Amino acid sequence: MNHALHDDKMDPLDIVNHGLIPGIEMAGELYDRKQYFLPQLLRAAETMKEAFAIVKPYLSQEAGQNMGVIVLATVEGDIHDIGKNIVAVMLENYGYKVIDLGKDVKAADIVDAAEKEQADIIGLSALMTTTMPKMKDVILLVKERGLKCRVMVGGAVLTEEYAQSLGADGYSKDARAAVKTAGKLLSQEEN
Ligand code: B12
């Protein structure tokens, strides 16, 4: 990792997109094919986390401008957070203040935080078909409390159509697109 960053002078985002993400996905495929088992998959996920922690400071720029406040969380029952963590760093890079609540977070805790922090956007991550519906709970609670903040969603198993069926304001398939979606949601807000 240090070799790629310092000796090869690789772009840190390329390390994430062309090294770390394909790596964890390959581990997932091997797991699906029963060539890897849970310990190997966990090891791969831990390695990804450690590697990401090394590149993270090189991805983060000084958050000079304040583009808006985003509360981010992986929904209740879901412990997948690799993708969410990448989305957090990308949004921070683009000047958003990101409040990352972590993983396995209850709908009420997410909406409480959004209210307290006066968030412009809530970003939700879910990686399993069993936890995707939890996003709907958050969306309903935002409406129930009359909050103005928008909700954008993401995670490998999600689709644009499913996001719409949940009533989400935005969906992105990856971290780069998440930055665009956030920008779009905020410009709609001003209009
Ligand atoms: C790594 C991994 C794990 C790790 C997680 C470690 C961690 N800290 O995250 C470990 C080993 C712990 C794990 C556990 C489990 N896993 Co798992 N896991 C994966 C795997 C292989 C990769 C996920 C990943 O990190 N991808 C890389 C990241 C970068 O991609 P990403 O998360 O999609 O994020 C990107 C986009 O989606 C988007 N995005 C993500 N979040 C957000 C949020 C917003 C707001 C926006 C805009 C965008 C966005 O941007 C990100 C960056 O570009 C996937 C398979 C796969 N190919 O997806 C299975 C997978 C998600 N796991 C699965 C399962 C079933 C489980 C377990 C239940 C297994 C078990 N039997 O115990 C447990 C879950 C326990 C729980 N309660 O949550 C299934 C889900 C199946 C389904 N359809 O529901 C999958 C799909 C594997 C499979 N094919 O069966 N897993």
The domain segmentation of the chain, as residue ranges, is 2-59, 68-190
pLDDT of residue 190: 55
Distance 125 CA to ligand 1 centre (A): 10
pTM value is: 0.88
Residue 75: phi, psi to the nearest 5?
A: -70, 165
- Flag whether pLDDT at 69 surpasses 70: yes
52, amino acid identity = F
Q: Whose CA is nearest to atom 35 of ligand 1?
A: 83
Q: Name which of 68, 67, 171, 190 is nearest 123 in CA terms.
A: 171
Question: Which ligand 1 atom is nearest residue 86's CA?
Answer: 52
Say how many Å lie between the CA of residue 21 and the centre of ligand 1. Answer: 11
Task: Tell me the pLDDT tens digit for each residue of 5-54.
Answer: 888 788 888 888 888 888 888 998 998 899 999 899 888 888 888 888 89
- CATH topology for the 68-190 domain: Rossmann fold (3.40.50)
Asked if 96 contacts 123 with a C-beta cutoff of 8 angstroms, the reply is no
Q: Which of 127, 149, 151 to mutate to test the pocket of ligand 1 (most atoms within 8 A of CB)?
A: 127
Q: How far apart are the CA of 144 and the centre of ligand 1, in A?
A: 30
- Please give the distance, rounded to the nearest whole angstrom, from the Cα atom of residue 81 to the centre of ligand 1: 7
How confident is residue 4, by pLDDT bands cut at 50, 70 and 90? confident
155 neighbors 103 (Cβ within 8 angstroms):
no
Q: What's the pLDDT tens digit per position in 100-142? A: 999 999 999 999 999 999 999 999 999 999 999 999 999 999 9
- Residue 190 Cα to ligand 1 midpoint, Å, equals 34
- Provide residues with CB under 6 Å of ligand 1: 21, 24-25, 27-28, 32, 41-42, 45, 77-84, 86-87, 123-125, 127-130, 152-157, 172, 174-175, 178, 181
